[in-house]
Amino acid sequence: MKPVEESPAAQGRPCFVTRGLTKVYGSGPAAVQALRGVDIELPEGEMVVVLGASGSGKSTFLNIVGGLDTATAGQVLFRGQDMSRANHRELTRYRRRHVGFVFQFYNLMPSLTARENVALVTEIAENPLTPEDALALVGLEQRLDHFPAQMSGGEQQRVAIARAIAKQPSVLLCDEPTGALDSATGIRVLEALKTVNDDLGATTLLITHNASIASIADRVVIFADGNVREVRTNTQKKQPKDISW
Amino acid sequence: MTGPLAWFSALDRKLVRDLWRMKTQALAIGFVIAAGVSVHLLAAGMFSSLEETRRAYYERYLFADIWAPAVRAPDALIAEIRAIEGVQAAEARIRMPALFDMDTMSEPATGEVISLPDAGESSVNRLHLARGRTPAYGQRDEAVVLQAFADAHGLDVGDTVPATIYGGRSDLRIVGVALSPEHVYAIAPGELVPDDRLFGVMWMGRRALARAVDQDGAFNEAVVRLSRGASEAAVIAELDRILDPYGAPGAYGRSDQISDAFVSSEMDQLGTMGRVLPPVFLLVAAFLVNVVVGRMIAVQRAGIGLMKAFGYGDWEVTWHYLKLVGMIALLGLSIGAATGAWLGHAMAALYMEYFRFPFLVFRASATDYAVVAAIALAAILGGAAFAVRRAAALNPAEAMTPPPPPDYSKAAGASLTRLSALDQQTRMILRQIIRWPWRAGLTVAGVAASGALLVGTLFFTDAIDAMIDTSFSVANRQDMSVAFTEPRSRAAFHAIARQPGVMAAEPYRSVPVRLRQGPAEERAAIIGTPLDARLSRLVDARGRPVSPPPGGLVLTDDLAARLGVRAGDIIAVEAAEGRRPSMEMPVSAVATSYVGSGARMEIGDLNRVMGEGPLVSGAYLSVDPEAADALYERLKNAPAVAGVGLQTLAMERLQEMMDENLGTSLFVFVTFAGLIALGVVYNSVRISYAERQRELASLRVLGFSRMDVSYILLGEIALLTLLALPVGAAAGAGLAWYLAQAMSSEMFRMPFVIAPSTFGFAALVVLAITAGASLLVRRQIDRLDMAEALKTGE
């Protein structure tokens, strides 16, 4: 995979295109078919919510478009470049340049403060925000020098979001970002994600079990049995503060 | 359920599988335990084997307690000697220096001929006949030969050996081959290393030998065995009183008997090794196991929660994990016991080459095994019990959820790590160390201990090189020393000095003396040498030659220390030869001597205080190697020559012995020290990896390369290893200093010398092991499951 040129997000042009995307874990009788030929196009800059039951293939899909795993068959195009055949070094470079990750359990470095956790990423990025600006975007300008152990779950998740967006990623991938949080805290996190999506224009994929979150998305993708069962676009997006669970 | 584990309970099956999964780690811990156990067994077992062998041998062959030499004492005195209170048995015998002319070599073999009773067996110092018989009464030429000498020359019963005894030449016919408790370590007086080719002992019938050396109706040495509880000093005083009129230089006990002194010195060294090294190994092993097991169980926290959730009680959980670590302890113990026994047998075989016992079986006692097993088990189970108790105390729900992030905010010294010049990865490394200072400290201590053991053992080669260099290149530069049968005039010296092939010669006068200072008394020899001697001389601590000033006496440092005298003190000197004058003399200097001990004077001064003319006891020679063989031939036939010492051969032999013996032991110690470093480093990194797997996987997801992630994990151990190097060097120097003190004996002193290359080599070994262990873990970083990091909490 050749390095992808930094192009400003153009609305409507696909960020990801997959064709016949297939993933099989294991082999022989123990083989598990996680993805069964997924075809989908995801335009630049959208907020996409991915829904599905456990084992529906949504996490596998996220892992492949995030460059953590490679497909068994089929193609993934990121801005027109095929990344199906990329080696691990090219995938590392892809993640470093283009992808911001937000995890369910935050995965902050406990030995680094909020500012330092963000700096961890800005130090290896090409055109990053300052850690302070990134933390201000998620409303944590008062908590710069706190360690993870000194912060609430919601705060930790917002540091994780700041860490993910500080590199100004092309894609923001969030796997159950509110899964470990209560409803009120979860909504603050979603607000932070929305702000980032609006301000930076990063294509945002948000995996969740929680169907009520779907209403804040531009596009909702529903996975079942290793394939996309339904894609729908929201004409009327809700604000995070207007939803609850 | 089928398969090999079918009859195990589910929990035990888990145990076996857990153990299999962590086999590398278990093996690394096992090896550290094994190193401690085997070194301990080796040292303790070898010590008790030697001690028991020596005790049994001495007892069965009636080894003497006291030797009382004289010039010529009438036979009748032996009855008086036997009547001394405390004497259990006494024998009068003749003992004469001799030269043997072996056709297997050009050099003369030095040695002695000792008389055996003509009738019956000796009641003191019996021979252990390996082959043949003792000389028959009336057979003038029959002799028994020392087995080591016989083996070195391929001698057997029926062979004939030409010998020069007391100036007379005779052909001795060998009728027996024997071992003797007096010659366990068969070595010529003044030598450091036995050379079986160059030192021989023969035993002849009393009457036959008496005739050959003009001692009819007389003896020149009484050997005495003491009754249980008798006072050696009191008996020696009585012997000296009885034998004083017959030219006795003074009786002495086992501590001054060359062979036994060497055996004792070796056992002392073994004892020191056994006291110092194994506890270090075992302690490090205990430490390491304690920490590793504790952390290993902390990582198993979720598993423990699960077991409790299923309804297992605290005790069952604890027992389960104790069984796991118990298996590791057993693994280490069995490897250690097997290795220790194997090394012990190998070492016993090596000892048999130098220490001629009729038998020497390596046997570590049940106590030795019990002690190491108890220490190893206590260490490992203690470490485990603490961690398991903490884990078992958790409530199941809590144990199964991920632990809250460790709080780094209060880590001492955290401000240091806030320096903006640091990148975040380096900051993580520093905070990790500062947050868990104990853990880091133990890793440093473990690696440093390994380095210290390396330095402390490799130091022996440096010390011995320095010892050889000073003794043979600076102090004793002669190729050969020639001893006369008795003090001779200067003409005898000149006759030797004029021989073809002699390039330089210096006369010496050697007088046995007793030195006294207050209550301290030492037997020694004063050697008189010419002013500005160039061949044999004493040197000071800086390696410069020390010449005795006129009228003054120079003592070797060990002798001065035993007497408690310093330069400037006056000591009482009592000569044990000639007219046996007593006098007081100033100690003008104290010299360094690594090999042997004694006193020096200017030869003219010594002749003067002895009230004798210009007598010499022998000569030091520098010899043209081309002409050496011819010179040997003439010396073998010179009636005045009692013995020939071959300095160059002695040095080669010493070097050879050190290379063989020391090489083997050093290899063992270096291997074990290496195992400790490997155990410490591998486990430290491996556990850090287990604890931080999720953190590292997250970093990979965030776009950090394998290299970046490895830096965070391995940078910590690299930094700790670098910190451990100077600590290890200092501790190693301390260990070397202690060993140098503890290993020094009357025969030789270990200089405290560590070459820079020794530090360098030790550092290289430690660094190489750290690198190797890191590479093993590095492979696992390559297999980190990034997708897993996104999902689970733990």
**Of the candidates B436, B341, B458, the residue with the CA atom closest to the CA atom of residue B688:** B436
**Residue B54 above 60 pLDDT?**
yes
Model pLDDT, residue A75: 93
Average pLDDT score over residue span B212-241: 93
Local confidence band at A7 (pLDDT 50, 70, 90 cut-offs) = very low
**Of the candidates B143, B191, B193, B194, the residue with the CA atom closest to the CA atom of residue B165:** B143
Instruction: Let me know: does A94 contact B402? Beta carbons within 8 Å.
Output: no
Q: Domain ends where: B378, B401, B424?
A: B401
Local confidence band at A8 (pLDDT 50, 70, 90 cut-offs) = very low
Same-domain pairing of B339 and B355:
yes
Same-domain pairing of B466 and B384:
no
Q: Do B701 and A89 touch (CB under 8 A)?
A: no
B791, closest residue in chain A (CA to CA): A104
Nearest to A111 among B428, B694, B705 (CB): B428
Local confidence band at A211 (pLDDT 50, 70, 90 cut-offs) = confident
- B235 Cβ neighbours under 8 A, 6+ residues apart: B65, B66, B84, B85, B86, B87, B224, B226, B251
Q: Do A107 and B423 touch (CB under 8 A)?
A: no
High-pLDDT (> 90) share of chain B, %: 37
Model pLDDT, residue B93: 96
CA distance B522 to B563: 7
Model pLDDT, residue A203: 94
Q: Domain ends where: B183, B198, B214?
A: B214
Same-domain pairing of B655 and B784:
yes
Is B407 among the domain residues?
no
Model pLDDT, residue A12: 56
Local confidence band at A224 (pLDDT 50, 70, 90 cut-offs) = very high
Tens digit of each residue's pLDDT (9 = 90 or more) over B381-390: 777 777 777 7
Same-domain pairing of B177 and B274:
no
CA distance B698 to B696: 5
More confident residue, B354 or B400: B354
Q: Do A101 and B431 touch (CB under 8 A)?
A: no
Average pLDDT score over residue span B24-41: 83
**Residue B601 above 60 pLDDT?**
yes
**Residue B775 above 80 pLDDT?**
yes
Is residue B412 within 8 angstroms of chain A, CB to CB? no
Model pLDDT, residue B619: 94
Model pLDDT, residue B749: 81
Average pLDDT score over residue span A70-86: 91
Q: Nearest C-alpha of chain A: how many angstroms from B691?
A: 12
Tens digit of each residue's pLDDT (9 = 90 or more) over B138-167: 888 999 999 999 999 999 999 999 998 888
Q: Nearest C-alpha of chain B: how many angstroms from A215?
A: 24
Angle among Cα B160, B165, B171 to the nearest 5 degrees reads 20
Model pLDDT, residue A174: 92
The 3-state DSSP class for residue B501 equals coil
Hey, what are A220's tokens?
């909702």
**Residue B763 above 70 pLDDT?**
yes
Average pLDDT score over residue span B506-518: 92
CA distance A233 to A245: 21
Single-letter residue type at B18 = D
Model pLDDT, residue B7: 62
Model pLDDT, residue B172: 94
Single-letter residue type at B76 = A
Q: Do A95 and B702 touch (CB under 8 A)?
A: yes
Hey, what are B239's tokens?
């012997």
Is B1 among the domain residues?
no
Q: Do A101 and B702 touch (CB under 8 A)?
A: yes
Model pLDDT, residue A9: 45
Angle among Cα B115, B120, B123 to the nearest 5 degrees reads 70
Same-domain pairing of B248 and B344:
no
Same-domain pairing of B793 and B658:
yes
Q: Domain ends where: B587, B605, B623?
A: B623
**Of the candidates B620, B590, B615, the residue with the CA atom closest to the CA atom of residue B604:** B615
Hey, what are A27's tokens?
């082999």
Q: Tally the domains of chain B.
A: 5
Model pLDDT, residue B207: 92
Model pLDDT, residue B301: 73
Of A83-92, B301-310, B501-510, the one with minimum mean pLDDT is: B301-310
Q: Do B702 and A163 touch (CB under 8 A)?
A: yes
**Residue B789 above 70 pLDDT?**
no
CA distance B731 to B721: 15
Of A117-121, A175-179, A229-233, B9-13, the one with minimum mean pLDDT is: B9-13
- Domain region containing B549: 502-623
Model pLDDT, residue B5: 54
The 3-state DSSP class for residue B113 equals strand
Same-domain pairing of B240 and B286:
no
**Residue A235 above 90 pLDDT?**
no
What do you get for the CA distance between the two ends of chain B, in Å?
A: 30
**What is the average pLDDT score of chain A?**
87
**Chain B residues lying within 8 Å of A69, measured CB to CB:** 786-787
**What is the average pLDDT score of chain B?**
86
**Chain B residues lying within 8 Å of A132, measured CB to CB:** none
Q: Map chain A to HEC letters.
A: CCCCCCCCCCCCCEEEEEEEEEEEECCHHHCEEEEEEEEEEEECCCEEEEEECCCCCHHHHHHHHCCCCCCCEEEEEECCEECCCCCHHHHHHHHHHHEEEECCCCCCCCCCCHHHHHHHHHCCCCCCCCHHHHHHHCCCCCCCCCCHHHCCHHHHHHHHHHHHHCCCCCEEEEECCCCCCCHHHHHHHHHHHHHHHHHHCCEEEEEECCHHHHHHCCEEEEEECCEEEEEEECCCCCCHHHCCC
Distances (CA, A) of B40 to B221, B352, B361: 43, 21, 17
Is B550 among the domain residues?
yes
**Residue B701 above 70 pLDDT?**
yes
Local confidence band at B128 (pLDDT 50, 70, 90 cut-offs) = very high
Same-domain pairing of B387 and B528:
no
Is B496 among the domain residues?
no
**Chain A residues lying within 8 Å of B706, measured CB to CB:** 92
**Residue B354 above 70 pLDDT?**
yes
**Residue B647 above 90 pLDDT?**
no
Walk me through the domains of chain A, giving residue ranges and CATH numbers. 44-70+95-238 (3.40.50.300)
Q: Do A124 and B704 touch (CB under 8 A)?
A: yes
Is B411 among the domain residues?
no
CA dihedral B155, B157, B158, B163 (to 10 degrees): 50
Q: Nearest C-alpha of chain A: how many angstroms from B706?
A: 9
CA distance B70 to A92: 92
Model pLDDT, residue B48: 86
**Of the candidates B514, B536, B533, B525, the residue with the CA atom closest to the CA atom of residue B487:** B525
- Residues 100 through 119 of chain A touching chain B, CB cutoff 8 Å: 101, 103-105, 107-112, 116-117, 119
Same-domain pairing of B371 and B280:
yes
- B41 Cβ neighbours under 8 A, 6+ residues apart: B336, B337, B340, B341, B344, B364, B368, B369, B372
Average pLDDT score over residue span B78-83: 95
**Residue A10 above 50 pLDDT?**
no
CATH number at residue B82: 3.30.70
Same-domain pairing of B375 and B444:
no
Of B34-43, B330-339, B477-486, B653-662, the one with minimum mean pLDDT is: B653-662
Is B707 among the domain residues?
yes
Is B602 among the domain residues?
yes
Model pLDDT, residue B68: 96
Local confidence band at B129 (pLDDT 50, 70, 90 cut-offs) = very high
DSSP state at residue B255: G
Average pLDDT score over residue span B656-661: 75
Model pLDDT, residue B411: 64
What do you get for the CA distance between the two ends of chain A, in Å?
A: 42
**Chain B residues lying within 8 Å of A59, measured CB to CB:** 787, 790-791
Same-domain pairing of B788 and B653:
yes
Q: Do A150 and B698 touch (CB under 8 A)?
A: no
Is B493 among the domain residues?
no
Model pLDDT, residue B413: 60
Q: Do B705 and A59 touch (CB under 8 A)?
A: no
Instruction: Let me know: does B641 contact B113? Beta carbons within 8 Å.
Output: no
Average pLDDT score over residue span B203-219: 92
**Residue B197 above 80 pLDDT?**
yes
Q: Do B790 and A149 touch (CB under 8 A)?
A: no
Same-domain pairing of B175 and B300:
no
Local confidence band at A5 (pLDDT 50, 70, 90 cut-offs) = very low
Q: Nearest C-alpha of chain B: how many angstroms from A235?
A: 31
User: Chains A, B: CB contacts under 8 A, how many?
Assistant: 103
**Of the candidates B641, B580, B674, the residue with the CA atom closest to the CA atom of residue B101:** B641
Model pLDDT, residue B571: 94
